[in-house]
Structure 1
Amino acid sequence: MRIGIVNDMPMAVELLRRLVVSTREHQVAWIATNGREAVEACRRDLPDLILMDLAMPEMDGVEATRKIMAETPCSILLVTASIEANVAGVYEAMGHGALDAVDIPSVGIAGNASSQSARLLTNKIAMIGKLVRDAPSRASGRISVATDPSPQRLVAIGASAGGPAAVAKVLSAFPIDFGGAIVLVQHLDAQFIPGLADWLGQHTPLPIRAAQEKDRPQAGTVLVASSDDHLVFKSAQQLGYTSSPKDNVYRPSVDVFFESAAQWWPGSVIGVLLTGMGRDGARGLRQLRDKGHLTIAQDEATSAVYGMPKAAAAIGAAVDILPLSAIGLRIIEACGRPT
């Protein structure tokens, strides 16, 4: 892949440059020292991937991501000094379409990146490279319902690039007495899930927490897949994790969870597929529709990256294709009907 590097620190730029050219598969397309330069560089020469810092002069990584995804869509990996210290910026940038985030590799005694931190970054680059090759496309007042103490409705949500902001928008429509059980599978490393849950909690009155082994979906509670393994139903009510299929590049996989819900959940399911690169979730959404469940895909106009919803639309997996602002209300409408 041709990779652009955006960072205002010379040492960081040199570390990233060495990592990129350490394999014959990649080359440096250009280097920018701030977000403004990156936006202009993309207009001249669009790379396959951008390694984007967050804190920079003139224009930060969040605004640069927003502008690039609006004008010249490109895969963006956030590589910054501390993800933990920039949680809000990370999820805001992901809302604009950044694919993932990682701390910049630490420096060893010889001035090179330490092997463990370098391996984490290079693995993410390799994963995004596969997603780029497989992707079918690149981007372009509350209502109250009666609480069901024993949830018969499951709202299964899948998302990837641009997902945090899209999920926040959907959840913001739900009232505190929302009667459905909600499970979210967001393509994101397990270490970032606690931060994601906290951030999403600012947008909804519903409790949000990481899904654990043997958890049971509960009415009015959001469970978030929290492992690099796949979240699945292991019985009609009980969740768990599995490493199979091991060769699935999407971890955790939306397809795997949707298919598990179609097989095990005893009540009705509302499957929702939001913005994201690739095609994960399309097959599982189709399986839910084939079993008579309501399925919803985000439309192109409101998707940060119209890959996963497009793949679902292409195979007729979605009953409804809706703008993001309408999805939450559609779910509430469906949950308001008797099962």
Structure 2
Amino acid sequence: MATNKVVLIEDSPVALEILQRLLNSSPDVDVVGVARDGAEGLEVITKTKPDVICTDFMMENMDGLELTKRVMADDPRPILVISNFVQKTDVDNVFRLLQAGAADVFPKPTTDSPTDYERLKSSLVAKIKVLSSMKVTARRSQQPLSGSVKPITSGAFSGTQPLMRNVSSRVKVIAIGASTGGLQSIQKILGQLPSNFPLPIICTVHVSTGVLSGLVNWLSSECPLKVKIAEVGETPAPGTVYFAPEKCDLEVDFRGKFIYSNCPVENKHCPSINVAFKSLAQFYGKAMAGVLLTGLGRDGAEGLQAIVQAGGITVAQDEKGGGAFGMVKEAITMEAVQQVLTIEKIAPFLLKTLSE
């Protein structure tokens, strides 16, 4: 089995040594180069052609944000930012990194204890394995971001998209499930939907603890819909995108209102796509559509099957779109996928479904 080639860029000698030893201890990862800052990192990346770039954020000479911009403009590759500065209190940092094209962020342990890093090894290696199979495209320089101004991007609503009127569809809710690296894919889907999209969209995503608020902030600037974390007791409203909270499963009760539930110890992912899909299928039945994006593992397959069994509509991202195909492949094996589409065609399919 081919290993995933990684370049590590980290200005702390201790953290660099620990990360290098940690990743090289996995049979699935091969650290092919290291660097102490972004400028040196660009040279190493050019020489080694890695599958994934793992970089710190705050560094001298060239920080992780500038490195991300340079790589995504000239030689796009999946970038995982591993840093102390992508925690819950660092919303702006997460926002800018995702805007620049970083595939995901991963909060670094608060200390340089090898034990703390070892505790995160499995989730870090899992992210690298998923990101190594992602296909990323070049991003040219973008206008500076302001905390008070939402930029208009190529994917965001610019007033030229047709508004939706006289919609009468049996579908009343859309659920989306995504794994590591799926943040950009969700943005592509949401960015194609009009501002008066008539249904609620409920998303369950495997992201590192502490980055959800940054993700919501970023998506709010990238799409015309309202984006927020689902709150207990809320009823899903049209034109709003809801995200499952961190460290809890998101479900709906018998009234259709959001509730949080504790994640079972045996569940690898929290929040779980399966849990959300099954709960929504039980309440909405045939009046829902489920979208499963590529990712590693099996989460989402059983949930998509529950939607099919309830009479709903199911869509999955095709293998050519990049990313590990495990979740979708499992769903296809279970005959839970009705439509397999490229990421660019998922939003048009949903819009067409609502107009039928």
Same fold per superposition (TM over 0.5): yes
Q: Provide the aligned C-alpha RMSD in A.
A: 3.7
Pick closer, same or farther for the CA change 1:86–1:206 going to 2, 3 Å: same
The Cα shift of 1:237 comes to: 0.4
Distance of 1:267 and 1:261 partners within structure 2: 10
Structure 2 counterpart of 1:88, from 76, 84, 95: 95
TM-score normalised by the chain length of structure 2: 0.73
Distance of 1:303 and 1:96 partners within structure 2: 15
Distance of 1:329 and 1:299 partners within structure 2: 15
Question: What residue number does 2:242 align with?
Answer: 223
Pick closer, same or farther for the CA change 1:316–1:143 going to 2, 3 Å: farther
Residue 13 of structure 1 aligns with an amino acid whose one-letter code is: P
Contact persistence 1:5–1:13 (CA under 8 A): no
Structure 1 counterpart of 2:67, from 55, 60, 67: 60
Question: What residue number does 1:289 align with?
Answer: 308
Pick closer, same or farther for the CA change 1:263–1:242 going to 2, 3 Å: same
Residue 31 of structure 1 aligns with an amino acid whose one-letter code is: V
Q: Which runs of 4+ in 1 moved over 6 A?
A: 65-69, 147-151
Question: What residue number does 1:309 align with?
Answer: 328
Structure 1 counterpart of 2:42, from 27, 33, 36: 36
The Cα shift of 1:68 comes to: 8.4
Structure 2 counterpart of 1:124, from 120, 126, 135: 120
1:299 aligns with 2:304: no
Pick closer, same or farther for the CA change 1:232–1:124 going to 2, 3 Å: farther
Distance of 1:130 and 1:86 partners within structure 2: 23
1:143 aligns with 2:162: yes
Pick closer, same or farther for the CA change 1:69–1:275 going to 2, 3 Å: farther
Question: What residue number does 1:110 align with?
Answer: none
Pick closer, same or farther for the CA change 1:122–1:336 going to 2, 3 Å: farther
Pick closer, same or farther for the CA change 1:262–1:146 going to 2, 3 Å: same
Question: What residue number does 1:17 align with?
Answer: 17
Question: What residue number does 2:152 align with?
Answer: none
1:6 aligns with 2:8: yes
Question: What residue number does 1:321 align with?
Answer: 340
Contact persistence 2:68–2:102 (CA under 8 A): no
Percentage identity across paired residues of the two chains: 26
Q: Which moved more, 1:320-329 or 1:264-273?
A: 264-273
Distance of 2:185 and 2:255 partners within structure 1: 28
Structure 2 counterpart of 1:243, from 255, 259, 262: 262
Contact persistence 1:208–1:222 (CA under 8 A): yes
Distance of 1:210 and 1:189 partners within structure 2: 15
Residue 345 of structure 2 aligns with an amino acid whose one-letter code is: A
The Cα shift of 1:19 comes to: 5.8
Pick closer, same or farther for the CA change 1:132–1:32 going to 2, 3 Å: closer
Residue 42 of structure 2 aligns with an amino acid whose one-letter code is: R
Distance of 1:216 and 1:42 partners within structure 2: 50
Question: What residue number does 2:252 align with?
Answer: 233
Question: What residue number does 2:199 align with?
Answer: 180
Question: What residue number does 2:140 align with?
Answer: none
The Cα shift of 1:78 comes to: 2.1
Distance of 1:330 and 1:268 partners within structure 2: 16
What number of residue pairs does the alignment pair up? 315
The Cα shift of 1:252 comes to: 1.0
Distance of 1:81 and 1:23 partners within structure 2: 18
Contact persistence 1:5–1:50 (CA under 8 A): yes
**Structure 1 gap ranges (5+):** 108-112
Question: What residue number does 2:139 align with?
Answer: none
TM-score normalised by the chain length of structure 1: 0.77
Pick closer, same or farther for the CA change 1:247–1:144 going to 2, 3 Å: same
The Cα shift of 1:304 comes to: 4.0
